[in-house]
A and B are shown apart, each in its own frame.
Chain A
Amino acid sequence: MSAIAIGFRLPPYARFLARRIGQSLALVFCTVLITFTVINLAPGDMVDVMAGEAGAADAGYIALLRQRYGLDQPVPVRLLHYVEQLGHFDFGYSFRHNKPVLQLIGERLGATALLMGSSTILAITGAVLLGIMAARRLNTATDGIISVLALLAYATPVFWVGLMLILVFSVKLRWLPSGGMETLFSGLTGPARFGDLAAHLVLPAITLALFHLALYTRLLRASMLEVLRQDFIRTARAKGLPERIVVGRHALGNALLPLVTMVGMQLGAALGGSVVVESVFAWPGLGRLAFDAVGERDLNLLVGIVLFSGLLVITVNLLVDLLYSWLDPRIETQ
């Protein structure tokens, strides 16, 4: 509250920062509200699951358990309790795995980060190349082919891309492994192990990247066209800079700005996509964990992952906005 109260005395950038952080906190609260609602709407609560796990339990014991976990309290009290729990970074407990949810998430986060990081890099690099090519050769065959490929990538189910890549590159050509993150019991170390990991990473990363590659290519093509029309590009050309520098430095630098925002916004979509990709390729990440939680009816774990992903998306988008305002100081004043 104090940030808002002194807001009018802060310099513009700090005011922007305070407003943006305030918005993010409101979003965090709404997200928590959604997951809380989901937990409470679900048929059966934690105690039912525990009783089910134990095999059988009498009514008195169940009532005692409900009391102990505060499930007999009215909804607002339970919400407060839930928020307080989260404040202590307690995301609940998975009775199926006998571990705290946050610990389970931590164990799997690395694999998902690796997958999503490499697929994002792949998508951005590909989009920069294809987007520039399409914008430079506007309305030619190259532009047309790129548009058609983007159209196809938009319409293809992610899991099916994965299966078809496995079919071609693992089953038929035998170039790459079809699943997992490492060759089990290989005893590989150092560079050999790294190579093994990279080989396992190629197909899932491409699968996850394809949709975003199409999206970013379309975006970059459009923003390149926009930028290439502007006066400073004409100036750059007029002063005799080689086309490579004009396009690669002057135009691309500016055309990349909308892409930064889009990549941040697409993090959620990529996380959702990783559920499918990880289950196709048996990649031991968060998505796979979420999918297994569905099969095992591990509600605490599932909701914990949902909440964690939501918070991750909010944080990353906040960081992207700050990065953006640093790259393009004009937006602060808006």
Chain B
Amino acid sequence: MSALWRQFRRNRPALAGLTILALVVALGVGAPLIRPGDPWAEIAQPDLWPGEDWRFPFGSDVLGRDLLSGLLHGARVSLVIGFSAALVAGSLGTLTGSLAGFYGGWLDDALMRLAESFQTIPAFLMAIVIVALFSPSPLTIVLSIVAVSWPGVARLVRAETLRLRAADFVLACRSFGMGDARIILTQILPNCLAPVIVTISVMVASGILIEAGLSFLGLGDPSQLSWGTMIAIGRGSLRSAWYMSAIPGLAILLTVMAINLIGDGLNDALNPYLRDRSK
């Protein structure tokens, strides 16, 4: 772990990403303290530009909702949805991928054709269909992101499992009678953890982008103010008050970029073959 951190720390962009993400997490967690109350509340004078009234440093929207409050609460929504979707998709993908790779045969064929057909349907279209059918809520939004993200992990874990299944140390475990479940859990999965972690970190980023897209189209959780919703609201005033859609967009850009940088850093730190590629 400390060796990993030493590798990671040397990567300056990754460290910058980690700093930005830590800041976004802190702001999201601290949202109720920094800006208590409902971000939907119309508490300011409408159409305030950023800096016009320092009680509302990022200005207000057409109905006088505080943009700063929206940004902070939006950070919570993005992070919670992004991370939980990535965790669920990661677990589901790991489970199906390791089963398919380890047992092979018809199970492998069935699971992989299923994964491929999930990848065949345009991801964002599929997400829209799932959310629209079961009405928007945090659960359906997470499910829709899981539905489009799990095949990637499943195929990755399957490939790794196939490679490891025939490895000498796995054969040794078999020879002294270790059960399948124990071999998968204690021998195979820990050895394919590195690429899985990298993939999951990238999935957090894509999950945040999908959530933003859904809520921009009006398919977000109606009870939460998310960054995508803020951009959709600001869109109506694009001509007169572009900051309303520009600011939450920058927030998404910054957060997603930070996570991608961390993912790149993890990839370099975890992959011994790439470790010295900078030289």
On whether the beta carbons of B260 and A268 are closer than 8 Å, the reply is no
Number of B interface residues at 8 Å Cβ cutoff, please give it. Answer: 44
A160 vs B219: C-alpha distance in the bound complex, in angstroms? 16
On whether the beta carbons of B125 and A272 are closer than 8 Å, the reply is yes
On whether the beta carbons of B205 and A155 are closer than 8 Å, the reply is yes
In this complex, what residue of B is CB-closest to A32?
B117
User: Shortest Cβ distance from B124 into chain A, in angstroms?
Assistant: 3
On whether the beta carbons of A294 and B132 are closer than 8 Å, the reply is yes
On whether the beta carbons of B133 and A38 are closer than 8 Å, the reply is yes
A166 vs B237: C-alpha distance in the bound complex, in angstroms? 12
In this complex, what residue of A is CB-closest to B117?
A30
A272 vs B120: C-alpha distance in the bound complex, in angstroms? 11
Does A254 touch B at the CB level, under 8 Å?
no
Known: A157-B249, A163-B231. A27 touches B128 (CB 8 A): no
Does B167 touch A at the CB level, under 8 Å?
no
On whether the beta carbons of B257 and A155 are closer than 8 Å, the reply is yes
Number of A interface residues at 8 Å Cβ cutoff, please give it. Answer: 49
Does B114 touch A at the CB level, under 8 Å?
yes
Per-residue contact bits, chain A 283-320, to B (CB 8 Å; 1 contact, 0 not): 00001001100110101001101100110011001000
A151 interface neighbour in B121, B134, B261, Cβ under 8 Å: B261
Instruction: List residues 212-265 of chain B with CB under 8 A from any CB of chain A.
Output: 212-213, 216-219, 228, 231, 235, 238-239, 242, 245-246, 249, 252-254, 256-257, 260-261
On whether the beta carbons of B213 and A276 are closer than 8 Å, the reply is yes
On whether the beta carbons of A272 and B129 are closer than 8 Å, the reply is no
Find chain A residues with CB under 8 A from B80 CB. none
Does B53 touch A at the CB level, under 8 Å?
no
In this complex, what residue of A is CB-closest to B218?
A295
Known: A268-B122, A275-B125. A160 touches B245 (CB 8 A): yes
Does B118 touch A at the CB level, under 8 Å?
yes
CB within 8 Å: A-B pair count: 141
On whether the beta carbons of A152 and B116 are closer than 8 Å, the reply is no
Find chain A residues with CB under 8 A from B25 CB. none
Find chain A residues with CB under 8 A from B120 CB. 27, 31, 268, 310, 313-314, 317
A277 vs B38: C-alpha distance in the bound complex, in angstroms? 31
Does B113 touch A at the CB level, under 8 Å?
yes
Find chain B residues with CB under 8 A from A155 CB. 205, 252-254, 256-257, 260
On whether the beta carbons of A302 and B129 are closer than 8 Å, the reply is yes
Find chain B residues with CB under 8 A from A272 CB. 122-127
Does B209 touch A at the CB level, under 8 Å?
yes
Does A113 touch B at the CB level, under 8 Å?
no
Find chain B residues with CB under 8 A from A152 CB. 253, 257
On whether the beta carbons of B253 and A157 are closer than 8 Å, the reply is yes
Instruction: List residues 142-176 of chain A with CB under 8 A from any CB of chain B.
Output: 151-152, 154-160, 163-164, 166-167, 171
Find chain B residues with CB under 8 A from A42 CB. 133-134
A306 vs B218: C-alpha distance in the bound complex, in angstroms? 19
Does B187 touch A at the CB level, under 8 Å?
no
Residues of A within 8 A of B (CB): 26-27, 30-31, 33-34, 38, 41-43, 151-152, 154-160, 163-164, 166-167, 171, 268-273, 275-276, 279, 287, 290-291, 294-295, 297, 299, 302-303, 305-306, 309-310, 313-314, 317
- Known contacts A272-B125, A275-B128; can you find 4 more A-B pairs with CB under 8 A? A157-B253, A268-B119, A279-B217, A313-B121
